[in-house]
Amino acid sequence: MSDCGQHGITLIAFVGSVFSPYYAWARGRGRANPDNHCALNVAIYSKGQGRWAMTERGQRHCARSARQFTIGPSQLNWDGDCLTIDIDEVCVPVPRRVRGRIKLWPQQLFGYSTPLDGAGRHRWGPLAPASRIEVDLSAPDLKWQGHAYLDSNEGDEPVDQGFHTWDWSRARMRDGSTVVFYDMQAPGTEDRVLSLRFTPKGTVEPIATPPVQRLPKTAWRIDRRMRSTQAVCVQEQLEDTPFYQRALLQFDYAGEPLLAFHETLSVPRLVSPVVQAMLPWRMPRRA
């Protein structure tokens, strides 16, 4: 988010894209190579200049090492202090260019990782929950600075084998801490919730889990919820798809009003044949 609160951006670099219908179809034919299903998802939230791009690239278009990840014409580079993302993508179905450079400076690096499921096949951990970001784009023409969050997810099996539904949120507190709620639900089982505070000193503190606050269903009728001691308000709906939603929420934690990035994933919706048939229209592939 920009310091002025008027701009936002989300970037996701995939190796073995969990949302890819091509990867799912390849797994159906046998063991699939995740390096043959890479993508850089770019979502820009600026009034009048919004963009969304996610083109999957085959292995011959990609390369990765400990410090660099090339995905077609885009790439990510880590120099030890700064993560630089050079973007050169095209939106679909309306072709609009997304081009420019993003720089992210972690204020504190974390080596924290935790299993998300009982078998430990899916793991998550923030790398830099509090960071500074600089956005310099030529298409669309956007230049701003602000605060950011960087994390990592990895799995040893397809996402539909480990999850049913999750609600995830992160919010920045006045003291520079980042509060994260990872709320996972499945029919017939108890909720699994991670409630954590990542401090500027580099510590990870478990926090009390607030009660569930129900949110209005999205336009695609996705159920969603948030953890908060007070009522929650949807400030802005950023993404609304048949299986996934992203929004900005106003909520309260420890008596402090906060603004959270919030996401909901419905795995049954994602893997439904109808949605899988729709996805190529938004996620083209370059083999």
Q: What is the mean pLDDT of the chain?
A: 96
Is the confidence at residue 74, as pLDDT, over 90? yes
User: What local confidence, expressed as pLDDT, does residue 177 receive?
Assistant: 97
Report pLDDT for 31.
82
**Res 170 pLDDT > 90:** yes
Mean pLDDT of 42-58: 96
CA of 138: how far to CAs of 12, 94, 220, 262, 280, in Å?
20, 18, 33, 28, 27
Across 45-56, average pLDDT: 96
Q: Which amino acid is at 63?
A: A
Q: Are 191 and 183 in contact (CB under 8 A)?
A: yes
Task: Please tell me the predicted confidence (pLDDT) of residue 99.
Answer: 98
pLDDT on residue 87 = 98
39 touches 283 (CB < 8 A): yes
Distance CA 248, CA 233 (A): 9
Query: Three-state SS for 141?
Result: coil
In tens, the pLDDT along 95-129 reads 999 999 999 999 999 999 999 998 999 999 999 99
Tell me the mean pLDDT in the region 155-169.
95
Global pTM value = 0.95
**In this predicted model, what pLDDT tens digit does every residue of 217-246 receive, in sequence order?**
999 999 999 999 999 999 999 999 999 999
In whole angstroms, what separates CA 169 from the centre of its chain?
Answer: 10
Give the model's pLDDT for residue 32. Answer: 93
Q: Report how far residue 105's alpha carbon sits from residue 150's, in angstroms, rounded to the nearest whole number.
A: 10
Tell me: cis bond preceding 93? Omega within 30 of 0 counts.
yes
pLDDT in the model for residue 233: 97
Does the pLDDT value for residue 252 go beyond 90? yes
